[in-house]
Amino acid sequence: MEALAISLVKAAPALGAAPLWAVTLLLMLASAGIILVFALTFEGVGSLVLRKVAGDIQARIGPNRVGPNGILQFLADGVKLVLKEDIIPAQADRFLFQLAPYFVFVGSFAAFVVVPFGVGLIAADLNIGIYYVMAITSLVVVGVLLAGWSSNNKWALLGGMRAAAQIVSYEIPVGMALLPAVLIAGSLSLQDIVRSQGGLLGIFGWNLFHNPFSFFSFFLYFTAAQAETNQTPFDLPEAESELVSGYNVEYSGIRFGLFFLAEFGDMFIVAALSTACFLGGWQVPFFNAAALPAVWGNLLSLGVFLAKAFTMVLVMMWVRWTLPRLRVDQLMRMSWKYMVPLTFVNLLGVSLWLLVFRGKGIPAMIASLFG
Amino acid sequence: MGLKAYINDIVEAVVTTAKGMRITARYGVDPREEVTLQYPEERWEIPERYRGFLHNDIRKCISCSMCVKVCPVDCISLESVRGADKKPVLVSYDINIGRCMYCGLCVEVCPVKSLKHTSGYEKASTDRGELILHFIAEDAAEVKARVARQVAEAAKAAEAAKAAEASKPADVSSDLSSVAAKAAKEEAAKPPVGEPKAAKAEAADLSSEAGKATVAEPKTAKEEEKKP
């Protein structure tokens, strides 16, 4: 951010009058605002698309009353959420009850900071990007547990407990499934990981096709991440049919809205991370976007990245309306007996592959055969 | 659990998931699969023998009160008085469709088939009173008063006829009595009743044509009955 501020001051000397830290702070606020607007828009439109996809898959129509074909439904929902009364149960722990939604929302929103939207479009290219995402999304557990506990409601508490158990369990396979991408790129920075997937191989430069183990680890990551972010079929903390709505059952109005936004934010984060780590991120196949002039390169790579990420979001919705919810013991068995060993085997496999073939993937080896 | 079973589990999970995903994908992309009916705009076709709201055609009704007796939930209430010709005249016929359970027993038992199930099923109201269908638009007291008057007139006419018959020789008497009867009839036809008020909304709602009929018919039916 500071580097950007320096270049901005250089480009526009009028800004030089202001102290550098002020310009930097302003830039930070501006980028945070842009990302927030993006996140809110995604969450709004996402909820509409989710319901439309649900309608299609379940052989019905979906929302079609508000605006042409129901496209304004999300605005109506948003207005409704904001205007509804914010009820705090009499027996609830008021302070924690009010605090919990912010933890959940911040935990999901803060992960947007390291999402590589384009060649230079990243709020902060942390050199520990993946580690940061893993760490900050854990904040969601705290919020969910707080919400469940402070509501003073048995269903909410059960939901919160389930969420804690589930998120903690699935963080291991998520981390292990992401590590192959880190190993291949040799860096924890998401931008470095994306850059390592470029080149002349097109889509075969992606980590997905690097070697058999990284191919599997994409699917392992995608599955485990859905579980970690409590998406259906792993939505046990919410489980409408058994826990009413789980940890957020006592929430109403905008506080409920924050939980809702966090859910969609998580959805995008999972899609964005799987895109960045396995599907080439913003890399345009057979084209070097970074070589274009800054504006066009960024726009092109942003478009490509969003196209890939939204496709992944659609796949998540597709999964969501297909698979029935697991039982708690099934969920835990899946994590500890299947996901964790498999991801470890995968990690081992990728490490050995990189050691044996000196970091070359199958497509690269085939390409070198033909010169 | 051996390694084989373990791997089998994984393969089975992947295969079944893929199967399910394929099915939902097919439904997702095929727009013809939509089965939603946009209800207020489109409606289901009503089956032929659908038991909707009850409707009593009071032109045909003979006030036998079989329906009242057979109704398991007592939703039909009927009141009748004896008319000038000794036949029962309906004073009021109400069906509380809020209570009706649509068993169809009343329709089955109706000897003249005046009580029928219609195809109507839409009736929402904020007042339970609105769920009571009145098949006779006139006020019960009015009908009673009118019938009582007619009975009294008929009795008077009969008495006059009898008196005339007693006082006059037999050959004239028949002539006179017929005149008296005619007068009585005209009296009755000149409606002392007043025009029955327009059918209540409920009746019109149910079936506007039948609703109108309920207004027009009782009078003519009674006039016919009054003919000696």
Residue A191 pLDDT level (bands cut at 50, 70, 90) = confident
User: Could you say which of B10, B21, B29 has the minimum Cβ distance to residue A338?
Assistant: B10
pLDDT number for residue B109 = 92
Residues A207-217 have pLDDT tens digits of 888 888 888 88
Q: Is the pLDDT of residue A305 over 70?
A: yes
A75 by DSSP, 3-state: which? helix
For residues B96-103, give the mean pLDDT.
Answer: 89
Report pLDDT for B217. 42
Question: A59 and B33 in contact by Cβ < 8 A?
Answer: yes
Q: Which of B52-56, B120-124, B167-171 has the highest mean pLDDT?
A: B52-56
- pTM for this entry: 0.72
Q: Are A354 and A267 in contact (CB under 8 A)?
A: no
pLDDT at A192 over 50: yes
Q: Give the three-state DSSP class for B82.
A: strand
Contacts of A127 (CB under 8 A, 6+ apart): A187, A188, A189
**A22 or B226, which is more confident?**
A22
Q: From CA B213, how far away is CA B143, in angstroms rounded?
A: 17
Q: Name the minimum distance, in Å, from the CA of A239 to any CA of chain B.
A: 20
Contacts of A58 in chain B (CB under 8 A): 27
- pLDDT at position A200 over 80: no
Share of chain A above pLDDT 70, in %: 94
Indicate whether B223 pLDDT > 50: no
pLDDT in tens, A251-292: 888 888 888 888 888 888 889 989 888 888 788 777 776 777
Cβ contacts of A345 within 8 Å, gap of 6 or more:
none
Q: Could you count the other beta carbons within 10 Å of the beta carbon of residue A27?
A: 16
Whether B213 shows a pLDDT value over 60: the answer reads no
Is the ipTM, as predicted for this complex, more than 0.85? Answer: no
* Tens-digit pLDDT profile for residues A330-369: 888 888 888 898 899 989 998 898 888 877 777 777 877 8
Of residues A61, A318, A321, nearest to B34 (C-beta): A61
Measured between alpha carbons, how far is B89 from A66 in angstroms, rounded to an integer? 55
Residues A144-170: b if buried by 16+ CB within 10 A, e if exposed: bbbbbbbbebebbbbbbbbbbbbbebb
Q: Please give, rounded to a whole number of angstroms, the shortest distance from the CA of A56 to a CA of chain B.
A: 5
Is B205 a residue whose pLDDT tops 70? no
With CB atoms and an 8 Å threshold, state whether A53 touches B28. Answer: yes
CA–CA distance, A322 with A166 (Å, rounded to integer): 21
Task: Tell me the CA end-to-end span of chain A in Å, nearest whole number.
Answer: 42
| Residue A258 CA: distances (Å) to CA of A38, A89, A107, A237, B200 | 15, 18, 11, 16, 53
- The 3-class SS string of B168-224 reads CCHHHHHHHHHHHHHHHHHHHHCCCCCCCCCCCHHHHHHCHHHHHHHHHHHHHHHHH
Taking the CA of residue A175 and the nearest CA in chain B, the distance in Å comes to 20
pLDDT tens for each residue of A274-283? 988 888 878 8
Taking contacts as CB-CB distances below 8 angstroms, the residues of chain B near A322 are 17, 20-21, 23-24
Which tens digits make up the pLDDT trace of A128-146? 888 888 888 888 888 888 8
pLDDT (tens digit per residue) in B66-94: 899 999 999 998 888 888 778 888 888 88
Mean pLDDT for A177-202 is 82
